Amino acid sequence: MALLEIDDIHVFYDNIQALKGISLDVEANRIVTLVGGNGAGKSTTLRAISGLLHPRQGAIRYDGRPLAGLGAHDIAAMGLVHVPEGRRIFGRLTVDENLLMGAFTRRDRKAIAEDKERMMTLFPRLRERLRQVAGTLSGGEQQMVATARAMMARPRLLLMDEPSMGLAPMVVEQVFETIQAINAQGVTILLVEQNALMALTIADQGYVLESGEIVLSGPGRDLIDDERVRQAYLG
């Protein structure tokens, strides 16, 4: 059984149908990526998984449990954590407070302090900026805060929506390395990217989304070699 199973979900914004029956599986400990052009429905898929949107039809199961009817905060508390598009860190809170909010559902103060220490080892730049208001950080640093904040929840499954957006090529490289490092620690990753080549390179499994439907899927390597993917997304 896969950690996350999505079974034929249909999602609407009022009367506009954004997802037209999507099914996909995320196996535990893997990196799975969802690629596709603007408006394909990638973010919508993640928002449906994390409970920000509710499918009109179809089912989502996490660790065997159906998620229907649960609020976003309930789902986050189950270890399914979503780093939304645009990072959405709390810009008026300090970096430290952002990390604290990531651990909101946890009570074990000691373990939280240890995890914070781990995050500052993973992102040494955050250590110097702990008391700084997060909105004043650079884009790359804000991405670090967003990732560290999500990791403070001790996720089992991390949904990441375009973590490389708006970052310089060097920094993008680091972001992908971080994702692999997190995955190596046993966190399953569902990654949405416009940067299809890099995403497919690190992914075990890939899905290609086009206007609300999955048009292709397979191991990341195979998709990179696929003629249709090459033409549409890799240039």
Partner 1 sequence: MSASSPAVALPSAPWLKALKRLNAVDIVLWALRIAVLLVIVAGTIGCVVKGRYTAAQWVDFVVFGLTIGSIYAQIALGYTMVYGVLRLINFAHGDFVMTGAFAGYFIAVPLDQSGFLQRQPVLAMAAILVVAIATSTSVALLTERIAYRPFRRVTGLAPLICAIGVSFFLQQTFRGMFGSAVKSYPEPQWQRAAFNVFGFNVPRIDVILIALALLFMLALYLIVHRTRMGTAMRAVAEDAEAAALMGIDVNKVIVFTFILGGAMAGIAGVFYAFLYKQVYFFMGFTPGIKAFGAAVLGGIGSIPGAMLGGFFLGLVESVGPALFLDGIGITAPYQLRDLIAFTLLIMVLIFRPHGLLGERLSKKRA
Ligand X SMILES: Nc1ncnc2c1ncn2[C@@H]1O[C@H](COP(=O)(O)OP(=O)(O)OP(=O)(O)O)[C@@H](O)[C@H]1O
**Which residues are at the interface with partner 1 (CB under 8 A)?**
50-52, 71-73, 76-77, 81-84, 88-93, 97, 100-102, 104-105, 149-150, 153
Please give the radius of gyration of the chain, using alpha carbons only, rounded to the nearest integer. Answer: 17
Spatial separation of the C-alpha atoms in residues 115 and 65, rounded to whole Å: 27
Residue 38 vs 231, nearer CB to ligand X: 38
Q: Which of 179, 184, 187 is nearest to 161 (CA)?
A: 179
Residue among 125, 139, 208, 147 at smallest CA distance from 169: 139
Residue with Cβ nearer ligand X (39 or 71)? 39
- Residue 36 makes contact with ligand X by CB under 6 A: yes
Q: How far is the CB of 126 from partner 1 (least distance, A)?
A: 17
Nearer to ligand X, 7 or 210 (CB): 210
φ and ψ at 183, to 5 degrees?
Answer: -60, -40
Using the rule CB under 6 A, which residue among 4, 18, 172, 214 binds ligand X? 18
174 burial via Cβ count (<10 Å: 0-12, 13-18, 19+) = middle
Residue 160 Cβ vs ligand X, minimum distance, rounded to whole Å: 12
What angle separates helix 139-151 from helix 169-184, to the nearest 10 degrees? Answer: 10
Q: How many residues bind ligand X (CB under 6 A)?
A: 13
State in angstroms the smallest separation of the CB of 86 from partner 1: 9
Task: Candidates 73-81, 82-90, 121-129, 133-141: pick the segment binding Mg ion (CB under 5 A).
Answer: 82-90
Query: In terms of Cα–Cα distance, which of 41, 40, 17, 42 is closest to 32?
Result: 42
86 binds ligand X (CB under 6 A): no
> Which of 65, 86 has the CB closer to ligand X?
86
Binding pattern to ligand X, positions 193-222, x when CB under 6 A? -x----------------------------
18 versus 78: smaller Cβ distance to ligand X: 18
* Packed helices 139-151 and 109-122: angle between N→C axes, nearest 10 degrees: 150
| Residue among 31 and 40 whose Cβ is closer to ligand X | 40
The Cα 94–Cα 156 span in angstroms is 26
Report the amino acid identity of residue 155.
P
> By the criterion CB under 6 A, which residues form the site for ligand X?
13, 16, 18, 36, 38-44, 85, 194
